[in-house]
Amino acid sequence: MIRTEQVKYGYNEGTIIAVDGVDIQVNNGEFVVIIGHNGSGKSTLAKMFNGILLPTGGAVYIAGMNTADEGKIWDIRSTAGMVFQNPDNQIVATLVEEDVAFGPENLGVPTEEIRERVTTALDAVHMAHHLKKPPHLLSGGQKQRVAIAGILAMKPRCIILDEPTAMLDPIGRKEVMETVTRLNREEGITIVHITHFMDEAIDADRIIVMEKGKKHLEGTPKQIFSQVERLKDMGLDVPQVTLLAHELKKSNVNISEDILTVEEMVEAICRLL
């Protein structure tokens, strides 16, 4: 679905390197999370996946299409939709149904099919009952789900989410992450999720850790989060239960350090008892 070849991007006429020679591959139907502290290059990379930014070196391919090919840009953005941090920057209409219809309308989809797509997309994010509501009356989590529905209505094979929960409260974050996970598991949509919340990465198939514009680590959530000290040295957190397991291990408690969830921790402690 996504492939980069030694991709680079520099701001300020290339004097500030944000992404430096990164090779990444995301397969169809995969759920990949990219983490890294501010300035690591993760958001710049996300914008290159959608053709918003074009690499200053190397190449980015979406379903085999080079993002530098101007003739393919609409196909690329129809294949890989983008959800941004602030839903207010993505919502353009005065009613939920009109906002979700905006993308398909711009693609020239027939009216009857647009109606069908709007209904299906809002059902997928559990927002169909807000069809006629003005977006400004919705909560932050609901707005972000409408933004996701707007992308779904364009029938993408991949959704790229650039810190979509950064401005939400815990309930809104939970709503969005449940929606994203369900779309991946049940609909088979490829997900690339950029986040700085470590607990949002535990359900991913794979995690990529960015540091100073480079791919620093890559592996399953258990492989990545078990490296507590290494992540701390990079200024990153780990899920709280993983940190607890790490501290218990340091205190000579015979417990695995790759625990990610409360349920796994309870099971591990019960085995010890």
User: Please, is 79 exposed, middle or buried when counting C-beta atoms within 10 Å of its C-beta (0-12, 13-18, 19+)?
Assistant: buried
pLDDT class of 26 with cuts at 50, 70, 90? very high
pLDDT at residue 8 is higher than 80: yes
pLDDT at residue 14 is higher than 80: no
Q: pLDDT value at position 179?
A: 87
Task: Report the pLDDT averaged over residues 176-196.
Answer: 91
Q: pLDDT value at position 1?
A: 95
Name the pTM for this structure: 0.88
Q: Three-class SS of residue 272?
A: helix
* DSSP secondary structure code for residue 238 in this structure: -
Among 129, 17, 4, smallest CA distance to 67 is for: 4
pLDDT tens readout for residues 40-51: 899 999 999 989
pLDDT at residue 166 is higher than 90: no
Query: CB of 135 within 8 A of CB of 89?
Result: no
Task: List, in order, residues 6 or more apart from 123 with CB less than 8 Å away.
Answer: none
**Encoding tokens for residue 116?**
């069908």
pLDDT tens readout for residues 120-154: 999 988 899 998 999 999 988 899 899 999 998 98
pLDDT class of 23 with cuts at 50, 70, 90? very high
User: Given the DSSP bridges, would you call strands 214-219 and 206-211 parallel, antiparallel or unpaired?
Assistant: antiparallel
pLDDT at residue 191 is higher than 90: yes
Query: CB of 34 within 8 A of CB of 194?
Result: yes
Query: CB of 152 within 8 A of CB of 188?
Result: no
Question: CA–CA separation, 47 vs 84, rounded Å?
Answer: 10
pLDDT class of 91 with cuts at 50, 70, 90? confident
Q: pLDDT value at position 74?
A: 86
Above pLDDT 70, what percent of the chain? 100
List of domains in the chain: 2-238 (3.40.50.300)
Question: CA–CA separation, 51 vs 169, rounded Å?
Answer: 30
pLDDT class of 37 with cuts at 50, 70, 90? confident
Task: Report the pLDDT averaged over residues 2-30.
Answer: 92
The CA-CA-CA angle for residues 119, 121, 122, to 5°, reads 65
Centroid of chain to Cα 177: 9
Query: CB of 225 within 8 A of CB of 231?
Result: yes
Dihedral sign for Cα 237, 241, 246, 247, please.
Answer: positive
Q: pLDDT value at position 34?
A: 95
